[in-house]
A and B are shown apart, each in its own frame.
Chain A
């Protein structure tokens, strides 16, 4: 087997894996502030991608569409928080699991009817011509994924570190009650985290759609892998998701090649179950002390 082909597949896969990492990063944002994640995040990616497609079809240039798509994603994130998460958090229950699934289902159905069930191509000004980098061929499009993912993650981390609001975000993640005593509204901070998570999901959709096309099924395809990455890396592991994402992406690419495309999902799923069994807090996560 030609080593360069393996390398090729691994690199392509790893770049796709960055998309999973980005969605997983979105999970981390909401988990940090509220110990909850949006189980319908895949649908959120999908409708944001569709919305962005509509914006493009309405004549908006690409670089104006992107912020529009991100804004839409953020708003959808806020909807999920208000409708699905807040009540459960107030009642200190885990009802948000089921409620976020339900909201995702609603989004799915709406998308099916508004945009149809077919996969549609997503236009982009970035070229899909391969360029030769370090012995492998990558397209500019694939590279743009890397730039987009790392870029937004970097931006959000910068926000967390250099603005006071960002520090408040970290404070609520560290100790919600103490943060409230400082005058920081934990509820508003949770809203912020869901808004950011939604925007991040939208960007993931925009980045990946030119490569994989937009369609209702993209939701389920992406989400399980993003879950795998989030859980295997650990829901509080920060940039660990990038490493695990790339690893999983490469693994998937290779297994698809060797085992057939139907088995593509399998390594991620098996890895997820194993990781949950052996190290529930994740490879890079921190163990939790039980308090009685």
Chain B
């Protein structure tokens, strides 16, 4: 409670202060700056969605500002619409064009995505320039602020409108990012593969995030148009885009406050540059900060030498330049570049990121108490396990070029059993798992789940069909807490429609999700570490967490891909117990493992693979004694006299 009061309190105070400004401040220039602050605030919140939450470099955002601005401008000049409809049009243009761009662009990663957005921005500028008939081209477009309800919008009134909209956007985004949507955005940044595998469509969420960001860009554009009452395509340039990125990175990614701080910096920047004296003070301060932080990092060995020194050099150049150069305006791009460089290298989490750690230590606010865990019987009622075939693989094959990783595999997993899959290195076990779970498509053959063909080639669709999995190389959502990792995967809990979520009315659902996730964490013994970030957990805990997360899918079939890999013996014992508990719920399990003790303890049936084919199948004991299996693991003796390993023929793990 205290935490919420503190955070909301801070927000209220700031907005209240901002609201009273027109009553106190008479200087129209200052008011204009603050209006611009609100507009850029909305713009940067939109940009932060892709840059902060999705972690991508978005070079197209400035295009949505421009397109939104022109949409609003044209709505007023050509169609005679009022301000409200014009702003809606601006948002709509941002939303639609953003979605259209997102659909192809978000299939790409990193650099290609940046290129696609850059091209879009260039294309937009070209279109705005060339479609002179509509936009007025390079000549520009003039418009006047329409009245609202018969009132002319004075600068003060317009300011209040912008601030009000900022407050609304702030509230809606806060609610959205605190819900399963926000978690999904962060999850897909940390592990797109696991996000799909947990039934949260990576692609659709990326598109939604991008469209959301661009609609906010459009809205900001509309306000921009009404602010300046004159538009030209040359305003929406690559340079401005860099400034926007500077704002987001400097202010702090993944943070509404960061967007606000960043917007403040952007708005104040031109003044900083025109006043040489101010600039020198500022650059001196920056240099001192960089030096301090750099030395601290070097001494404490928290940063690499380059990371500590490069910002100092960059800020040093800024200081020296400020003293030597006549007209700092001419060098504005270089100044931005040096500032942005220092921040990206030396302060990657931005001002807010830095401040929030500082403030958290100062105020020591405890987290809101967690709800009582749901009862396991309610959450995972036992399945009927009747031994009927659940998953059937028919002559499955998967080739990679000339390599036949899986070469004609037929297998039946019966409902309610724990089915082991073992084999030496390179036998094809992982490939089988990846084909079943949908990471790869089969080269030939079929997979049937409960008699129906299982969708292939899509982690998302296989997950939806009722198959959940863990990963041999952990694919946790590192930046999310243990609780949040499980919450992302929960099935059947998030039913509230989006508008309710935006308005913050989906709280009970959120509490229920927390309770459900806590129940699962309890089952694996991690209830006390629910609020620890996944990347900070011990290795054993991380392995268990993956199991709990997969369980949140309430699957019919759970695939465990080498869950004991790298575990110390006590953890292996605990893992066996966890798997037993899962099994008692009637969930069928496909267990890929090397640890023979785990396999022997748990499995009802074991299939042995070698060279992509089945070489034996039966109970663990039967399989251990099969000479073909022994040969596959131990190898054939080459000479007549070979040392034998003990009396019986053991099966190595």
A/B: CB atoms within 8 Å of each other: yes
Q: Of B161-169, B335-343, B508-516, B544-552, which stretch is located at the interface?
A: B335-343
Q: Of A100-108, A186-194, A242-250, which stretch is located at the interface?
A: A100-108
Q: Given that A109-B337, A277-B107, A280-B108 are contacting pairs, would A266 and B119 also be in contact in the complex, using a CB cutoff of 8 Å? A: no
Contact of A231 among B57, B115, B245, B440 (CB under 8 A): B115
Contacts of A201-219 to chain B: CB distance below 8 A: none
Contact of B344 among A95, A105, A270, A274 (CB under 8 A): A95
For the complex formed, measure the closest distance between the CB of B650 and the CB atoms of chain A, giving whole angstroms.
31
State in angstroms the CA–CA spacing of A266 and B304 once bound together: 43
Contact A280 B340 (CB under 8 A): no
A-B contact pairs, 19 of them (CB 8 A): A83-B310, A83-B341, A87-B310, A97-B110, A98-B340, A99-B344, A102-B340, A105-B334, A105-B337, A260-B130, A269-B119, A269-B126, A272-B116, A273-B104, A273-B116, A274-B104, A276-B104, A280-B112, A292-B193
For the complex formed, measure the closest distance between the CB of B312 and the CB atoms of chain A, giving whole angstroms.
13
Q: Which residue of B lies closest to A228 (CB)?
A: B119
Contacts of A260-281 to chain B: CB distance below 8 A: 260, 262-263, 265-266, 269-270, 272-274, 276-278, 280
Q: Which residue of B lies closest to A94 (CB)?
A: B110
Q: Given that A90-B304, A265-B122 are contacting pairs, would A101 and B242 also be in contact in the complex, using a CB cutoff of 8 Å? A: yes
Q: Which residue of A lies closest to B331 (CB)?
A: A109
For the complex formed, measure the closest distance between the CB of B164 and the CB atoms of chain A, giving whole angstroms.
33
Q: Given that A224-B118, A276-B115 are contacting pairs, would A87 and B331 also be in contact in the complex, using a CB cutoff of 8 Å? A: no
- A72 — which chain B residues lie within 8 A by C-beta? none
For the complex formed, measure the closest distance between the CB of A185 and the CB atoms of chain B, giving whole angstroms.
17
Contact B115 A272 (CB under 8 A): yes
Contact A109 B333 (CB under 8 A): yes
State in angstroms the CA–CA spacing of A289 and B434 once bound together: 12
A51 close to B (CB within 8 Å): no
Contacts of A221-250 to chain B: CB distance below 8 A: 224, 227-228, 231
- B105 — which chain A residues lie within 8 A by C-beta? 273, 276-277
- A277 — which chain B residues lie within 8 A by C-beta? 103-105, 107
Binding site for A on B (CB under 8 A): 57, 101, 103-105, 107-108, 110-112, 114-116, 118-120, 122-123, 126, 129-130, 193, 238, 242, 245, 249, 304, 306-307, 310, 330-338, 340-341, 344-345, 348, 400, 430, 434, 439-440, 471-473, 475
A-B contact count (CB 8 A): 128
State in angstroms the CA–CA spacing of A169 and B499 once bound together: 55
Q: Given that A86-B306, A273-B116 are contacting pairs, would A263 and B330 also be in contact in the complex, using a CB cutoff of 8 Å? A: no
Q: Which residue of A lies closest to B191 (CB)?
A: A292
- B340 — which chain A residues lie within 8 A by C-beta? 98, 102, 105
Q: Given that A102-B344, A109-B331 are contacting pairs, would A94 and B310 also be in contact in the complex, using a CB cutoff of 8 Å? A: no
- B57 — which chain A residues lie within 8 A by C-beta? 94, 97-98, 101
Q: What string of 1s and 0s marks CB contacts (under 8 Å) between A104-119 and chain B?
A: 0110111011000000
Closest 5 CB pairs of A and B: A277-B104, A109-B334, A109-B333, A106-B337, A105-B337
Q: Given that A86-B306, A113-B331, A273-B120 are contacting pairs, would A280 and B129 also be in contact in the complex, using a CB cutoff of 8 Å? A: no
- A4 — which chain B residues lie within 8 A by C-beta? none
Most chain-A Cβ atoms within 10 A of its Cβ — which of B105, B120, B344?
B344
For the complex formed, measure the closest distance between the CB of A107 and the CB atoms of chain B, giving whole angstroms.
9
Contact of A112 among B306, B333, B348, B400 (CB under 8 A): B333
For the complex formed, measure the closest distance between the CB of A258 and the CB atoms of chain B, giving whole angstroms.
13
- The size class of the interface chain A forms with chain B is 35 or more
Q: Given that A97-B57, A105-B242, A276-B104 are contacting pairs, would A113 and B330 also be in contact in the complex, using a CB cutoff of 8 Å? A: yes
Contact of A227 among B115, B129, B304, B310 (CB under 8 A): B115
Contact B344 A109 (CB under 8 A): no
Contact A269 B122 (CB under 8 A): yes
A290 close to B (CB within 8 Å): yes
Q: Which residue of A lies closest to B130 (CB)?
A: A262
Q: Given that A109-B331, A265-B122 are contacting pairs, would A276 and B345 also be in contact in the complex, using a CB cutoff of 8 Å? A: no
State in angstroms the CA–CA spacing of A90 and B306 once bound together: 11
Q: Which residue of B lies closest to A271 (CB)?
A: B119
State in angstroms the CA–CA spacing of A18 and B370 once bound together: 63
State in angstroms the CA–CA spacing of A234 and B272 once bound together: 44
Most chain-B Cβ atoms within 10 A of its Cβ — which of A39, A95, A269?
A269
State in angstroms the CA–CA spacing of A4 and B438 once bound together: 54
State in angstroms the CA–CA spacing of A278 and B104 once bound together: 8
Contact B337 A102 (CB under 8 A): yes
Contact B345 A87 (CB under 8 A): yes
Q: Given that A90-B304, A260-B130, A266-B126 are contacting pairs, would A97 and B337 also be in contact in the complex, using a CB cutoff of 8 Å? A: no
State in angstroms the CA–CA spacing of A236 and B227 once bound together: 47
Contact B104 A292 (CB under 8 A): no
A57 close to B (CB within 8 Å): no
Contact B306 A87 (CB under 8 A): yes
Contact A231 B130 (CB under 8 A): no
- B116 — which chain A residues lie within 8 A by C-beta? 272-273, 276
Contact A102 B130 (CB under 8 A): no
- A83 — which chain B residues lie within 8 A by C-beta? 310, 341
- A231 — which chain B residues lie within 8 A by C-beta? 112, 115
Contact of B400 among A110, A276, A280, A289 (CB under 8 A): A289
State in angstroms the CA–CA spacing of A198 and B112 once bound together: 21
State in angstroms the CA–CA spacing of A289 and B108 once bound together: 14
A199 close to B (CB within 8 Å): no
Contact of A99 among B114, B122, B304, B341 (CB under 8 A): B341
Contact A220 B119 (CB under 8 A): no
For the complex formed, measure the closest distance between the CB of B441 and the CB atoms of chain A, giving whole angstroms.
12
Contact A87 B304 (CB under 8 A): yes
Contact B119 A290 (CB under 8 A): no
A14 close to B (CB within 8 Å): no
Most chain-A Cβ atoms within 10 A of its Cβ — which of B111, B304, B335, B472?
B111
Given contacts A90-B304, A224-B122, 5 further A-B pairs with CB under 8 A are: A87-B345, A106-B337, A108-B333, A270-B123, A276-B107
